[in-house]
Amino acid sequence: MQFMLLFSRQGKLRLQKWYVPLSDKERKKISRDLVQTILARKPKMCSFLEWRDLKIVYKRYASLYFCCAVEDQDNELITLEIIHRYVELLDKYFGSVCELDIIFNFEKAYFILDEFLLGGEAQETSKKNVLKAIEQADLLQECTFPV
């Protein structure tokens, strides 16, 4: 995977994770173009896009768009399931996740993502294992810094 973007229906970026080295300028251009392209698409349309030399897989969950860029030989459907698994993880972690959870706790969303995907590859596909790892880290920080 080359990058993952989360953005709202209004086109606001909620999360961005880049697995390929790109300059700040390139990142901005890509996300701007891509957000525009995807928002212009109708709901019943295909979840896959050939965009520039990339293959884009996106899915909309309520007001949030999850969008991944993968290489040409990658399996689109499994990428779609990666997105879904990520949403499931978020849902489990936040308990009925909503966009605001992601907005206000975006760093948590990043932690979950990092535990699930590493360097652009699925690291741990077991939901239980991912959440366990996150919980451990969270627990540790709470123990260290009791409020």
Partner 1 sequence: MSDVVEKTLSALPSLLSLDSQAGAGKLSPSSKLGNLIKGITELTSKHEEERLIKKELESIKEQVASPNTTMRQMKEIMVRAIYCEMLGYQASFSYIHAIKLAQQGSVLEKRVGYLAVSLFLNETDEFLLLLVNTVLKDLQSTNLIEVCMALTVVSQMFPKDMIPAILPVVEEKLTHPKEIIRRKAVLALYKFYLIAPNQVQHIHSKFRKALCDKDPGVMTASLHIYLQLIKENPESYKDLTGSMVTILRQVVGGKLPLDFNYHSVPAPWLQIQLLRILAYLGKEDQGTSEMMYDVLEESLRRAEMNHNITYAILFECVKTIYTVHPKSQLLEKAAECIGNFVLSPKINLKYLGLKALTYVVQQDANLALPHQMTIIECLDHSDVIIKRETLELLFRITNAQNVTVIVEKMLEFLRLTCDDYSTIDLVGKVAELTMNSVFSLGGDVMQPDIPNNFLRLLAEGVDNVEDRQLRLFAVDSYVSLLQGETAKLPQRFLQVISWVLGEYSYLREEESDPGSVMRLLARLLDQRHTSTETRSWVLGAMTKLCSSPVSVALARDVCERYFWLWCSFIPQVDSSLSFLDGYVSEALAAGAAPYKSPHQRQEDLVQEKALSLEPYGLSLPVSLSSCSITDRRSPTLLSMSSVSQCYFSSTTLKLEGVKRVWGKDGYLAQQQSAGETPTPLVELPSPLLSPQSPPSQTQKPSSGLEPDQEKRQLASSLFVGLGSHNSVCLVRFPSTVWLFIKHCQSANQSNVVKALFKPLRTLDHTTSNGNPHVEGTEQRVEAGGPLSLIRGNGMVAVVPPTHTQTDPQTQQDLHPAPALERPRDLPLTSHLPAELSGLARSEFTPLCSDQDSSLALSACRVYKEDALVLLVFISNNNDSALHQMALQLTCKELEVYIFQTGLNNKVPLFFSEIPVGRSRNQDRNTRGSSNRDLEKPRIFCENFRNSCMPLTVSTGDYGKMWLSFSHDLKQNLQLVTTEHQEPLTATLDALKGKLHLHVVDIIGSEGIVACRLLQGPGQGQPCLLHCRVHADSLAVWLRSPVPELPDSLLYHCQKALTET
Q: Looking at residues 72 to 91 of the shown chain, list those that interact with partner 1 (rule: CB under 8 A).
A: 73, 75-78, 80-82, 84-85, 87-88, 91
Find the shortest distance in angstroms from Cβ 41 to partner 1: 8
Instruction: Give backbone dihedrals phi and psi of 18, rounded to 5 degrees, phi first.
Output: -110, 125
Binding partner 1 (rule: CB under 8 A), the pick from 1, 54, 67, 141 is 141
Find the shortest distance in angstroms from Cβ 65 to partner 1: 11
146 touches partner 1 (CB under 8 A) = no
Cβ density class 80-90: b for 16+ within 10 Å, e for less: bbbbebbbbbb
Q: Are 70 and 55 in contact (CB under 8 A)?
A: yes
Binding partner 1 (rule: CB under 8 A), the pick from 36, 65, 68, 133 is 133
3 state SS of 31: helix
13 touches partner 1 (CB under 8 A) = yes
36 touches partner 1 (CB under 8 A) = no
Place of tokens 């209004």: 10
128 touches partner 1 (CB under 8 A) = yes
Site string for partner 1, 42-71 (x = CB under 8 A): x-xxxxxxx-x--------xxxx-------
Q: Which is nearer to partner 1, 67 or 107 (CB)?
A: 107
29 touches partner 1 (CB under 8 A) = no
DSSP codes of every residue in 74-97: S-HHHHHHHHHHHHHHHHHHHTS-
CA 147 to CA 142: how far, in whole Å? Answer: 8
